[in-house]
């Protein structure tokens, strides 16, 4: 399975419009070749370089198995796309784009797509991104990752 974005290449700088300094919209994502038995997907975004430790920017879950892409800004209309979203570490539901501390150097942002054997995650109402990730990892058939960088000067 692979994960790509038409907005940036793996290992490249994430364009400003997809960050907290820009429009703060979720980037377009495409994936393919999920394994047989895939019943849903989860998309995650985290920052392992955050000063306080791992920072969770997004968890979109219960994405239908027939879905193989999310357009730019999909996080703003999850019902239209047919998925749920967790509370990010900014304390808000949905996507919170890269916004590292100024002069903290470039941070890595990792987007994951997880193909799951479960069609629906058993999580409480308004779960955190970490809770979604923990439950999703119990059902992972395959995963792919796309990394980008962003720095505030």
Confidence at residue 65, expressed as pLDDT on a 0 to 100 scale = 97
Q: pTM for the complete prediction?
A: 0.96
20-34 confidence digits (pLDDT tens): 999 999 999 999 999
| DSSP one-letter code for 111 | E
What are the tens digits of pLDDT across the range 81-107? 899 999 999 999 999 999 999 999 999
Which of these CATH numbers, 3.90.280.10, 3.40.50.9100, 3.40.50.720, 3.40.640.10, describes 2-150? 3.90.280.10
* Distance (Å, whole) CA 37 – CA 86: 24
* pLDDT of 101: 95
pLDDT at site 136: 98
CA dihedral 7, 22, 92, 113 (to 10 degrees): 10
Flag whether pLDDT at 61 surpasses 90: yes
pLDDT score of 21? 96
The pLDDT of residue 153 is 84
pLDDT higher than threshold 90 for residue 122: yes
Tell me the per-residue pLDDT of 124-143, one tens digit each, with 9 for 90 and over. 999 999 999 999 999 999 99
Rg (CA), the chain: 14
């Amino acid at each position: 399975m692979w994960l790509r974005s038409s907005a940036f290449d793996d290992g490249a700088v994430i364009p400003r419009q997809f960050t907290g300094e820009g429009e703060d919209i979720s980037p377009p994502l495409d994936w393919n070749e999920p394994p047989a038995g895939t019943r849903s997907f989860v998309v995650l975004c985290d920052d392992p370089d955050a000063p306080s430790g791992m920072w969770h920017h997004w968890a979109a879950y219960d994405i239908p198995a027939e879905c193989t892409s999310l357009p730019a800004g999909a996080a703003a209309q999850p019902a239209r796309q047919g998925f749920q979203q967790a509370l990010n570490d900014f304390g808000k539901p949905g996507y919170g784009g890269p916004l590292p501390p100024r002069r903290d150097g470039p941070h890595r942002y990792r987007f994951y797509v997880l193909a799951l054997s479960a069609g629906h995650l058993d999580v409480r109402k308004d779960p955190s991104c970490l809770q979604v990730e923990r439950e999703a990892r119990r059902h992972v058939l395959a995963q792919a990752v796309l990394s980008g960088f962003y720095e505030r000067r």
